[in-house]
């Protein structure tokens, strides 16, 4: 409203410059200024919208998203309003991820961070200099609520690595859990910048059986990754710890006084985009959800891989989730079979793309072994050897292992970690 008034004022001033002798226009401007001085005239960017519409008009903020449905990419886009996501760490990646999900019209967004906005954050997207000193969660809610008032925003300014913070974190995830759901959120996105916080998110999600996605950017700002973690089904964050911890070095001793990591808005923007894209594919059930995707910006190289859970994982909750996953295999197989049969009977009834005038089809690229977590088979791609027991063989009671066998496993794991870290 005020914005409009100011714009009108600019037009009036421009007109006045062309025709200086127009006292009536000066009166009109005066009225505008007085109206703006009345505080009642403030606020109002856009009002809430009850139902997402696919109508193609300039005033519809959802038209370009609902078009995904018309174009056959997403079966039911509007379902995004039923989903809740939690974002832990509202920094260079988390803030952009939050903005993307907000603009996509997600139902509810839970934001966690203990930090405040600093000028030193201005080399990444999202925060603005006038927000310096605000908590990152408050500043995020301020910006996001203005962008899309339809999204329910919950701000948690706390440190999840403290005892109290962890309790609040767990409680907030569990709130609104209903029949058949252990938590009230559909996905947790970890956008933190340190190992300790990642292990805490890992612990919470293992305890709750909560699917989550991890993201990270290297200290030299030129590479990053995203990863999907499904407790019991994929490796958890403790199943294959990074080298720095495997060697027993405390992370805090690595941080020296007066030394800061580099960061770039580009790398963080790309990682946030890949992360939220993967989240949308997971929530709205389209495309292939990537189990792991790396980004090496110096070479524009994007490695992918899949990581099985480690039956000897040090996290008891992970081992418990692995056991449950194995026990539920027969039910899962039956459900998958029923779904496939149902789909087969309705196949060929409607084409995926209604208007594919150019007969464009998506060709499989056999050089790129990206595979979906959903409906993944146990057949490994060519050239891969299973180093850990396959999911199927785990259900059988494990034979007691000798101490030297465990040592062998650890050495093998260390070798794999070394290989991963040097690539």
Catalytic residues: 260
Q: Are 300 and 258 a contacting pair, CB within 8 Å?
A: no
From candidates 82, 196, 220, 407, binder to a second copy by CB under 8 A: 220
3-state secondary structure of 228: strand
Distance from the Cα of residue 153 to its chain's centroid: 15
Distance from C-alpha of 338 to C-alpha of 214, rounded to nearest angstrom: 32
124 near a second copy, judged by CB under 8 A: yes
From candidates 219, 246, 373, 417, binder to a second copy by CB under 8 A: 219
Q: Which of residues 284-313 bind a second copy (CB under 8 A)?
A: 286-288, 290, 293, 297-304
Identify which of residues 29 and 170 has a Cβ nearer to a second copy in the complex. 29
395 near a second copy, judged by CB under 8 A: no
Question: 84 is written with which tokens?
Answer: 């809740």
If phi > 0 it is left, if psi is from -120 to 50 it is alpha, else beta; for residue 290 that is beta
Q: How far is the CB of 76 from a second copy (least distance, A)?
A: 14
Q: Which of residues 28-67 bind a second copy (CB under 8 A)?
A: 29-30, 33-34, 36-37, 39-40, 42, 44-46, 56-65, 67
Identify which of residues 123 and 177 has a Cβ nearer to a second copy in the complex. 123
Q: How many helices (H) and strands (E) does the chain have?
A: 13, 7
Distance from C-alpha of 372 to C-alpha of 306, rounded to nearest angstrom: 10
3-state secondary structure of 407: helix
Q: Which of residues 94-123 bind a second copy (CB under 8 A)?
A: 96, 99-100, 103-105, 118-120, 122-123
Identify which of residues 209 and 265 has a Cβ nearer to a second copy in the complex. 265
Q: Which of residues 248-277 bind a second copy (CB under 8 A)?
A: 254, 258-267, 269-270, 272-274, 276-277
Q: Which of residues 158-217 bind a second copy (CB under 8 A)?
A: none
Identify which of residues 72 and 107 has a Cβ nearer to a second copy in the complex. 72
Q: Which of residues 332-361 bind a second copy (CB under 8 A)?
A: 357-358, 360-361
423 near a second copy, judged by CB under 8 A: yes
3-state secondary structure of 395: coil
> E strands, 25-141, where?
84-88, 108-113
Distance from C-alpha of 100 to C-alpha of 94, rounded to nearest angstrom: 10
């Amino acid at each position: 409203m005020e914005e409009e008034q100011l714009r009108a004022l600019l037009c009036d001033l421009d007109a006045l410059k062309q025709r200086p002798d127009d006292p009536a226009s000066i009166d009109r401007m005066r009225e505008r200024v007085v109206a703006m001085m009345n505080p009642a005239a403030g606020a109002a960017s856009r009002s809430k919208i009850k139902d997402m519409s696919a109508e193609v008009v300039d005033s519809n903020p959802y038209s370009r998203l609902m078009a995904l449905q018309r174009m056959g990419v997403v079966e039911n886009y509007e379902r995004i309003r039923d989903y809740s996501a939690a974002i832990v760490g509202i920094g260079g990646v988390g803030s952009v991820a939050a903005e993307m999900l907000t603009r996509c019209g997600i139902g509810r967004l839970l934001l966690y961070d203990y930090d405040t906005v600093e000028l030193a954050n201005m080399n990444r997207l999202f925060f603005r200099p006038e927000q310096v000193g605000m908590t990152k969660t408050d500043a995020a809610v301020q910006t996001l609520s203005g962008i899309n008032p339809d999204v329910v925003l919950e701000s948690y300014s706390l440190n999840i690595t403290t005892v109290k913070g962890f309790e609040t974190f767990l409680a907030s995830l569990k709130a609104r859990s209903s029949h058949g759901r252990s938590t009230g959120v559909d996905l947790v996105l970890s956008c933190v910048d340190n190992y300790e916080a990642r292990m805490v998110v890992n612990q919470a999600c293992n305890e709750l059986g909560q699917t989550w996605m991890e993201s990270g950017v290297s200290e030299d700002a030129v590479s990053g990754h995203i990863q999907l973690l499904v407790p019991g089904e994929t490796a958890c964050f403790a199943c294959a710890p990074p080298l720095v911890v495997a060697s027993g070095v405390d992370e805090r001793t690595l941080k020296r006084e007066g030394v800061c990591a580099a960061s770039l808005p580009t790398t963080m923007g790309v990682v946030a985009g890949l992360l939220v894209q993967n989240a949308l594919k997971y929530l709205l059930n389209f495309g292939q959800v990537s189990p792991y995707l790396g980004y090496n910006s110096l070479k524009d190289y994007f490695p992918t891989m899949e990581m099985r859970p480690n039956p000897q994982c040090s996290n008891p909750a992970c081992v418990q989730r692995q056991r449950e996953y194995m026990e539920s295999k027969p039910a899962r197989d039956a459900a998958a079979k029923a779904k496939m049969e149902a789909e087969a009977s309705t196949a060929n009834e409607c084409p995926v793309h209604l208007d594919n005038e150019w007969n464009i089809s998506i060709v499989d690229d056999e050089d790129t072994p990206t595979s979906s977590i959903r409906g993944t088979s146990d057949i490994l791609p060519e050239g891969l050897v299973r180093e850990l027991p396959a999911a199927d063989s785990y259900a059988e009671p494990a034979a007691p292992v000798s101490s030297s066998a465990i040592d062998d496993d650890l050495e093998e794991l260390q070798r794999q970690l070394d290989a991963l870290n040097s690539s």
